[in-house]
Structure 1
Amino acid sequence: MNRFVLGALAALVMVSVGLFWWQGRAAVERGAPLPQAPVSSIAPQEMPSADLSEIDGPELPEATEQTREQRRFGRYDRNRDGRITRNEMLSTRVDGFRKLDQDGNNLLTFEEWAVATVTRFDGADANQDQALTPEEFRKTAPPPAKAKPGPKCSCKPK
């Protein structure tokens, strides 16, 4: 008996869904735009013009020249208070962890990565106040890239 009731209820639901779908399509078709006249049959109109000779725009903002280290410090200092907390240092490293774990098998665990980052942070935090000043943060910079050697041929240019 339960099967008959469930079957009838399922059939009623399917018919209701079909009716709503059918009515929705009809409403969409009624709201469709009518075909427009070809563009070539529309008369050209003159473009509006305005006299802008006496109007001045706002002054351009001045760009301050920052060193590479100041830009790097600014990327880490999320709340712009002039100090980098441990959470700010860790938050920017999540993408680096994901890049290291390319196959997604988590062989390099987050805990291992966090220990390395905290160790790096603690090594740079000379006064142990749990925040890095710009001078302390400079210690965490990656070493400069080595210059690539030139070609090893003994050819003379012509």
Structure 2
Amino acid sequence: MNRIVLGALGALLLVAAGLFWWQGRATNAGPPPAPRLALDTPTAETDELPDADGEGLQGPALPQATEQTREQKRFDRLDRDRDGRITRNEMLAPRVRDFRKLDVDGNNLLSFEEWAVKTADRFKTADANGDQSLTRTEFATTKPKMKKKQDCACR
């Protein structure tokens, strides 16, 4: 019982410390300083310190960002030559690398065996005698490996 109460109290203290730390960082963070070029010369205005109240001060304007919709971004990813049109080759280009991985014999035709390459490879490794058929013992080697569950040591 004491362990539970102490654990709960410790967790609350950690949460409170994290909350104070987070709030402290938020109040200490000020606006980023304005960029200063090497060619700028100090003037009377920049040498003066601003008042603590900040009255009459205004930061630089925020940069304007162009907003693109998801569809525009997706279109631009496929439009490689930036002509405003997507050709058939541009549309199929991302799929070519995956097709080349599957096309083992390189004849640009995808047979069923090439498409099912993982299953075909598993069959080849399980067929120990090479007779193009699996016996019960050979088939047993294709069984997926089960992940061991860790025994709970909570006693």
TM-score, normalised via structure 1 length = 0.25
Higher relative contact order (CA 8 A, sep 6+): 1
